[in-house]
Amino acid sequence: MITYQSQDGQLLVLKGRLNRAPGDRSEAQLEEQAGGAWTRVARAAINGQRFTLRWTTPAVSAAPVFIRVRVLRRGRVLATSIRSRLIIPTPPVLCAPPSPPPPYLPPGAGWIVGGAYIIGGPAPGIDACLSDAYTVTARYTGTETVAATQAVAGGRSYTLVLPAGSYALAANGCSTYQPVVVTAGTATHADVDCDVP
């Protein structure tokens, strides 16, 4: 049994369990299919009936990436998993850090920091800061009353100083999904997401 466990950036971690212990000096190998040939990209010793394989995946490619796991004992193949397609996610493109708030805030004010991101799309998808200039607007939750607005250069984050309260953020037709709560004297992080199908 092979179980995909987690992905941290471009690090793929696969954990496996065998029905029977293959004996000493056995190992699991992760192989990638490039063209027609299979290439070993990771290996790990089998402890009891379990193993963990770690592989730093290649950059995103338009071509499909296929992987399989093989179990070997003293160089002899004992088992081979089915071939599985791997979708390598696009690394996120983060907005540049926000400017700090002014040194002296109005009494009872806090601030919101974040960026406007385009996210989604067909696999492997996109998660990137808007590259064009945008305007972010904060409205009091449930109203059309504007509390603050800021013009932001493409690729940058925003910093909105606001009285403590609940707000809805919007930028270039996109918005936050939940109200953003500002607490006096503290920062609240909230991004505006532009979903693409």
The per-residue pLDDT for 9 is: 46
Q: Exposure of 138 by Cβ count < 10 A (0-12 exposed, 13-18 middle, 19+ buried)?
A: buried
Query: Rounded mean pLDDT of 108-119?
Result: 95
Cβ partners under 8 Å of residue 126, min gap 6: 90, 118, 119, 120, 196
Q: What ranges do the domains of the chain cover? A: 2-86, 109-196
136, 149 in Cβ contact below 8 A?
Answer: yes
Residue 95 has pLDDT above 50, yes or no: yes
Q: Mind listing the pLDDT tens digit for each residue in 21-72?
A: 666 778 999 999 877 889 999 999 988 888 999 988 766 555 667 899 999 9
Cβ partners under 8 Å of residue 184, min gap 6: 107, 108, 109, 110, 164
Q: What percent of the chain has pLDDT over 90?
A: 49
86, 65 in Cβ contact below 8 A?
Answer: yes
State CA 162 to chain mean position distance: 29
The per-residue pLDDT for 59 is: 62
The per-residue pLDDT for 149 is: 96
Does the predicted model carry a pTM greater than 0.75?
A: no
CATH topology for the 2-86 domain: Immunoglobulin-like (2.60.40)
CATH topology for the 109-196 domain: Immunoglobulin-like (2.60.40)
Q: How confident is the model at residue 189 (pLDDT cuts 50, 70, 90)?
A: very high
